[in-house]
Amino acid sequence: MTTRLPIAPERIADTLPLTNDERHYLLDVLRLGDGAEIEVFDGLGGRYLARLSLVNGALSLGERLAELENASGVSLAPALIKNDRLDWVVEKATELGAMRVLPLQCDNCVVRLDGNKGGQRQARWQKIAQAASRQCGRAFIPEVTAPARLESVLERARDAGELAIVLFEREVEQSFSDLVRSIDPKRQLLIVSGPEGGFREEEIAKARALGARTVSLGKRILRAETAPIAALAIAQALRGEM
Ligand code: SAM
């Protein structure tokens, strides 16, 4: 399996000196030798062949490799849920090709992550996304934002021309897959899912007023971590990404 190393875009250069952590990972953990070939990715979609040079403790970058994914995409806005289960959602969302993950602080969330705590958790989720991108061969690392209120996330989506699709177990008319099938695959989507206790009616009314569509994932009630991942997999399959 190809060794893959994430490198921030501003560090990309023909000769790329390694940090101590990177040297430790490549030499001590992976036990790579002089001249070993690896792949470097910048988290924005760029990936390069690179050769390890032990003499100057650097990587020599070679050709830029073909892009693996197109710019249009699907983002996920899952509500905060208990017991670190959002860690799992971030990891799976990255594997399934999410462009961004925007954790939501909803009215019924048992978990509250305000201020500092939200920032700390965001840093942890971003690391999880980076590790998952490295593992699954993506050159793109989804941005994970700090927890935000549903309303502000939906306003941002509307202003960016993204279609917000709210998973709502009491929706009886519109199925998620029928809606996704009817949308131009180039349109950016934001899949929004609720916490263990679901969305409040007032949140649903506000979401609809902000242009979001509400959809059903079928008759079974899925757990709060299952619903967003199931929906993302369906959307990616229907849009030819899987
Ligand atoms: N409050 C609900 C109840 O107790 O009956 C269940 C909420 S469910 C565990 C958590 C979230 O998953 C919901 O807010 C919704 O976003 C999503 N969800 C689960 N099953 C769904 C379904 N069949 N259709 C649409 N969304 C679903």
Asked if residue 224 has its Cβ within 6 Å of ligand 1, the reply is yes
* Higher pLDDT among residues 56 and 88, named by residue: 88
Is the per-residue pLDDT at 158 higher than 80? yes
Looking at the fold, whether 126 and 49 belong to one and the same domain comes out as no
Is the per-residue pLDDT at 68 higher than 80? no
Pocket test for ligand 1, best of 221, 226, 232 (most atoms within 8 A of CB): 221
Strands 189-193 and 74-78: parallel
Asked if residue 223 has its Cβ within 6 Å of ligand 1, the reply is yes
Nearest to 163 by CA among 120, 119, 208: 208
Looking at the fold, whether 143 and 110 belong to one and the same domain comes out as yes
Domain assignment of residue 194, yes or no: yes
- Residue-level pLDDT at 116: 86
Domain assignment of residue 27, yes or no: yes
Looking at the fold, whether 229 and 158 belong to one and the same domain comes out as yes
- Residue-level pLDDT at 55: 85
* CA-193 nearest atom, ligand 1: 16
Supply the CATH number for residue 213's domain: 3.40.1280.10
* CA-220 nearest atom, ligand 1: 23
Residue bearing the CA closest to ligand 1, atom 10? 224
Domain that holds residue 22: 4-64
Strands 58-64 and 104-105: unpaired
- Residue-level pLDDT at 230: 98
- Residue-level pLDDT at 114: 79
Asked if residue 169 has its Cβ within 6 Å of ligand 1, the reply is yes
Looking at the fold, whether 36 and 112 belong to one and the same domain comes out as no
Looking at the fold, whether 216 and 156 belong to one and the same domain comes out as yes
Asked if residue 214 has its Cβ within 6 Å of ligand 1, the reply is no
Q: Give how many domains the chain has, as a whole number.
A: 2
- Residue-level pLDDT at 70: 65
State in Å: Cα 222 to ligand 1 middle. Answer: 6
pLDDT tens figures, 167-181: 999 999 999 999 999
* Higher pLDDT among residues 2 and 13, named by residue: 13
- Mean pLDDT throughout 101-115? 91
Q: Is 142 left (phi over 0), alpha (psi -120 to 50) or beta?
A: beta
Is the per-residue pLDDT at 69 higher than 80? no
State in Å: Cα 193 to ligand 1 middle. Answer: 8
pLDDT tens figures, 192-218: 999 999 999 999 999 999 999 999 999
Residue bearing the CA closest to ligand 1, atom 21? 169
Residue 88 contacts residue 103 (beta carbons within 8 Å): no
Looking at the fold, whether 166 and 217 belong to one and the same domain comes out as yes
Is the per-residue pLDDT at 18 higher than 70? yes
- Mean pLDDT throughout 97-108? 96
Looking at the fold, whether 206 and 180 belong to one and the same domain comes out as yes
Q: DSSP secondary structure string, 209-220? A: HTTPEEEB--SS
151 phi and psi angles, rounded to 5 deg: -60, -45
Domain assignment of residue 136, yes or no: yes
Which of 64, 90, 110 corresponds to the end of one domain? 64
Looking at the fold, whether 112 and 31 belong to one and the same domain comes out as no
Is the per-residue pLDDT at 2 higher than 90? no
Domain assignment of residue 69, yes or no: no
Strands 15-17 and 58-64: antiparallel
Looking at the fold, whether 116 and 180 belong to one and the same domain comes out as yes
Asked if residue 176 has its Cβ within 6 Å of ligand 1, the reply is no
Which of 46, 64, 82 corresponds to the end of one domain? 64
Looking at the fold, whether 17 and 108 belong to one and the same domain comes out as no
Asked if residue 107 has its Cβ within 6 Å of ligand 1, the reply is no
Supply the CATH number for residue 46's domain: 2.40.240.20
Single pTM value for the model: 0.92
Q: DSSP secondary structure string, the chain? A: ---EEE--GGG--SEEEPPHHHHIIIIIIS---TT-EEEEE-BBS-EEEEEEETTTTEEEEEEEPPP-S-S--EEEEEBP-STTHHHHHHHHHHHTT-SEE--EE-TT-S----HHHHHHHHHHHHHHHHHHHHHHT-SB--EEPPPEEHHHHHHHHHHTTPEEEEE-TT--S-BHHHHHHHS-TTS-EEEEE--TT---HHHHHHHHHTTPEEEB--SSPPPTTHHHHHHHHHHHHHTT--
